[in-house]
Each structure stands twice: as structure tokens, then as C-alpha cells.
């Protein structure tokens, strides 16, 4: 996956790219990401990349021309079409499906990070980038959303996660939330690990995990189940959940030791 991040605040993104999975993906050659300072594409001595909004009002607006120049330079450098993405609270909501789509994108991904009051509208009109939102709230800039998008996509590339099974079992991959996880010790402050997880019975563990994934989804995000076509096993497990007590801890089979 090839990415370019166009930003006025390169230092907001560089440290994150040097950590954890994003770092590992670059070391393995599975992610190539370059951070470009938009000020490098200004022509004036003071490298001004923003200005006051026409019509008055608070804040500053990012100028269009440095962005046009940066995108032209990237087109020339890559020698190919680019997929332009513009983080925006007005954009298409980010989902796991969208992350998969970005992972599979053969074109270089270019993130146009807004800041202040946003970007001169002519950037949207001329370049027609895809606007992408990471949620119905407003952040200071597009840098964190760009990192969120890259992280969500990169961890789906085979070879990035230590265990390829991890991404397959996670929330949303199958339109379900993930099942609860436990690690050593088996007793924490009197709370025991569900016995089935210690049983060594792979089929029983698989069934328990499936059921708990369904329970989590039913309790926390019932909307995900609404249009879902359930197979026989899922229907049976959901029936069991509905007939059990709703106390989540007890129903998970954890429970406090006396
Ligand atoms: C302060 S915001 C501008 C918000 C803009 N005036 C509006 O109300 O639509 C500055 C930048 O942060 C980014 N941003 C803020 N919230 C976001 C969100 N929920 N998803 C994606 N990007 C966001 C965008 O790049 C935006 O240009």
C-alpha cells in the first residue's frame, strides 16, 4: 500500500507512523508512506498556506494552490493515477468494508489533511477527492483521521499482523462484534476465566466464542444484527442467549469465586 499524507503539521503524523503495526508494515515493505509538508508547495517567502475566509468569520482557511501543486507533483512522481482522500466530518463514514477497500486499492492513496476551518472549496470542486469521515464529531485537523484510515487498512494486509487469524476474528469483519478475551492468570481478584477456555476442547471454544460474539453484538450493537441472515447455528445460539439471564458477567460463565 502506498500513501502520501499532505499536511501543514507533519510532526502530528510522523511519530505515529514510527510505532507498532505501522512501523512494522513499513519495515516489511508492505506499506510505503511519505509525509509532505504543504508549505513546501507555496511560492512566497513566508510559505503562507492559509488565509482568512472570504465573507469574514472566525479562523483561517487552507489555500487551494499549494494543494494543487502538491497533487500535480505527486502525479508526476508516481506516474500514475492517484486515489485522493479528504478527511472531512461531511464525508462517507469509515467502516471496516471501506478499510478493506483501501487495503485493496492499487493506486497510491493521497490524504489531503484539512486544518483550521477547512480547505478552500475549490480543492473539492477541482480535484473531486473522496471525503471520508471517522465519525460525527469535529476534530482539529485531518491528520488523526488520515492515520486512522491508514491504520485500519494496513492491519488487514496479510503479513502485517503477527497472526493472520487476528484480523479475521475481529469486530465487524463478519458484521459481528468480537468475543471477550482473557489472558493469564486464570483468577484475577476472584474472577475466573470461563472454564470452557481452559478445556482444550477446540469445538467447544469455537462455539463459546461465536455465542459471545453474538451476545456482544446483541447487547451493544443490535443494529448490526437487524438485516443479517442468520445461519442455523447462529439462530440457535441467539435463542439460547435470549433465554438466559441478561446479567452479562454471569452469562459469560466468568463469575466471582466465592
Ligand atoms: C475543524 S475541522 C473543519 C470542520 C468544518 N468547518 C466543518 O464543520 O465541516 C478541520 C479539519 O479536520 C478534519 N476533520 C475534522 N473532523 C473530522 C471527522 N470527523 N472526520 C474526518 N476528518 C475530520 C477535516 O480534515 C477538516 O478539514
pLDDT tens-place string over residues 139-151: 999 999 999 999 9
| pLDDT tens digits, 201-228 | 999 999 999 999 999 999 999 999 998 8
Ligand 1 neighbourhood includes 66 CB (under 6 angstroms): no
Is 142 close to ligand 1, i.e. is its CB under 6 Å away? yes
Q: Cα 253–217–164 angle (5° rounding)?
A: 85
Report residue 27's pLDDT band, with 50, 70 and 90 as the boundaries.
Answer: very high
What rounded mean pLDDT belongs to the chain? 94
Distance (angstroms) between ligand 1 centre and the Cα of 2 equals: 23
Sheet holding 109-112, edge to edge: 32-37, 2-7, 109-112, 83-93, 130-133
Residue by residue, DSSP assigns 194-228 as PGGGGS--HHHHHHHHHHHHHHHHHHH-THHHHTP
Distance CA 131, CA 133 (A): 7
Give which of 69, 76, 7 is closest to 38, Cα–Cα: 7
Pairing of strands 32-37, 2-7: parallel
How far, in Å, from the CA of 59 to the mean position of ligand 1? 13
Question: What pTM was computed for the model?
Answer: 0.91
Q: Which CATH superfamily is domain 171-251 in?
A: tRNA(m1g37)methyltransferase, domain 2 (1.10.1270.20)
Model confidence at 247, in pLDDT bands (50, 70, 90)? low
> Does the 2-154 domain belong in CATH 3.50.50.60?
no
Query: What is the distance between the alpha carbons of residues 251 and 243, in angstroms, rounded to a whole number?
Result: 11
In the chain, where are the structural domains located?
2-154, 171-251
- The model's pLDDT over 157-195, given as tens digits with 9 standing for 90+, comes to 999 998 777 777 788 878 899 999 999 999 999 999 999
Interval between CA 76 and ligand 1 midpoint (Å): 28
Ligand 1 binding pocket mutation candidate from 38, 111, 114 (most atoms within 8 A of CB): 114
Amino acid at each position: 500500500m502506498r500513501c502520501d499524507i499532505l499536511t501543514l503539521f507533519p510532526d502530528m503524523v510522523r511519530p505515529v507512523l514510527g510505532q507498532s503495526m505501522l512501523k512494522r508494515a513499513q519495515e516489511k515493505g508492505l506499506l510505503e508512506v511519505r509525509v509532505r509538508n504543504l508549505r513546501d508547495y507555496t511560492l512566497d517567502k513566508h510559505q503562507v498556506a492559509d488565509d482568512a475566509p472570504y465573507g469574514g468569520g472566525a479562523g483561517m482557511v487552507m489555500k487551494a494552490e499549494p494543494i494543487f501543486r502538491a497533487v500535480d507533483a505527486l502525479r508526476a512522481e508516481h506516474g500514475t493515477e492517484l486515489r485522493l482522500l479528504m478527511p472531512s466530518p461531511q464525508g462517507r463514514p469509515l467502516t471496516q468494508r471501506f478499510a478493506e477497500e483501501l487495503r485493496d486499492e492499487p493506486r497510491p492513496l493521497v490524504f489531503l489533511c484539512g486544518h483550521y476551518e477547512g480547505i478552500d472549496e475549490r480543492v473539492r470542486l477541482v480535484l473531486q477527492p473522496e471525503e471520508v469521515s471517522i465519525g460525527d464529531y469535529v476534530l482539529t485537523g485531518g491528520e488523526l483521521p488520515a492515520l486512522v484510515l491508514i491504520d485500519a487498512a494496513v492491519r488487514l494486509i496479510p503479513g502485517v499482523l503477527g497472526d493472520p487469524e487476528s484480523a479475521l476474528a475481529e469486530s465487524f469483519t463478519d458484521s459481528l462484534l468480537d468475543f471477550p478475551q482473557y489472558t493469564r492468570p486464570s483468577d484475577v481478584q476472584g474472577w475466573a476465566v470461563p472454564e470452557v477456555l481452559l478445556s482444550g476442547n477446540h469445538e467447544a471454544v469455537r462455539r463459546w466464542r461465536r455465542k459471545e460474539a453474538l451476545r456482544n453484538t446483541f447487547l451493544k450493537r443490535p443494529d448490526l444484527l437487524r438485516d443479517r441472515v442468520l445461519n442455523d447455528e447462529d439462530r440457535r445460539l441467539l435463542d439460547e442467549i435470549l433465554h438466559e439471564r441478561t446479567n452479562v458477567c454471569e452469562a459469560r460463565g466468568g463469575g466471582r469465586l466465592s
